[in-house]
A and B are shown apart, each in its own frame.
Chain A
């Protein structure tokens, strides 16, 4: 009788372990599979909404839709890091972008979008 109880308890335990494993597999989201460089790049964009990073009165008066240089500069370090994380060298980065902030951010955006799509496809095929 004792044995039966033990067996039953074991069965319940093992079942619950299995179910827990399944749960952790299900939380494989794009967010958890992103590289740290992708994450920092996205967070840099979000930081544009922080009070100190909002457009100044002066910036609001500019006659252009283009993000101001001050705010672009907030995106550059994370953009560079994302580009370099793909194996591109510092000198290649400088040669291709000429140090132009917009070129660096756009390049990083393209890398982000491509990697994001790859991760999404991977999750799709796994599920």
Chain B
């Protein structure tokens, strides 16, 4: 009975933490250059592992005015499928599972980042570090750069979930129903 209950517990946890989809809308007239990471949504003892971030490309570039209105948003369903169905495919993820096991490069189709696997089941989209550039000149837009993190994710005690500067703003939020969590990263 105990075993049965703990099995249910483990399954429930696995479902509860299923990675979920990330949608990044860049409504601004500047190019987004950034790195995006996922982490353990239930960090314990200041421990955010596992952490997964884009290795190739780095940074991810989402051009000006790329969003669901123009049908050119960044959408990651999971670490694997994104490679074939996203407009901004990540070919290699960097996976950190502990303080001594940092940034191991994993190709998109590697078993370590497969949907339903341990890493995938124990991470959720968590944040980004980005800077915006002028598409005409490639120059950085003054002040339009930030660290941003989903509230409650591992770094959110010191990284806000929204950002405002004279040239634009950004925010990250979730919309959840049952076990489905969709994470939105909006740049206005």
Contacts and interface: CB of A to CB of B under 8 A. Distances in A.
Contacts of B172: 65
B162 A106 contact: no
Contacts of B145: none
Nearest to A115: B71
A67 B175 CA distance: 6
Given A49-B27, A65-B174, A34 B162 contact: no
Interface in B68-85: 68-72, 75, 85
Nearest to A55: B162
Contacts, number: 77
A113 B75 contact: yes
A46 B68 CA distance: 9
Contact of A49 (B70, B169, B178, B182): B169
Do most interface residues of chain A lie in helix, strand or loop, or is the interface mixed? helix
Contact of B71 (A34, A102, A105): A34
Interface string B124-141: 000000000000000000
Nearest to B124: A65
A103 B173 contact: no
Contact of A65 (B69, B153, B180): B153
Contacts of A109: 21, 23, 175, 182
A67 B173 CA distance: 6
Nearest to A32: B71
A29 B65 CA distance: 14
Contact of B177 (A30, A45, A102): A102
Interface centre among A65, A66, A67, A113 (most CB of B within 10 A): A65
Interface in A54-92: 55, 60, 63-67, 72
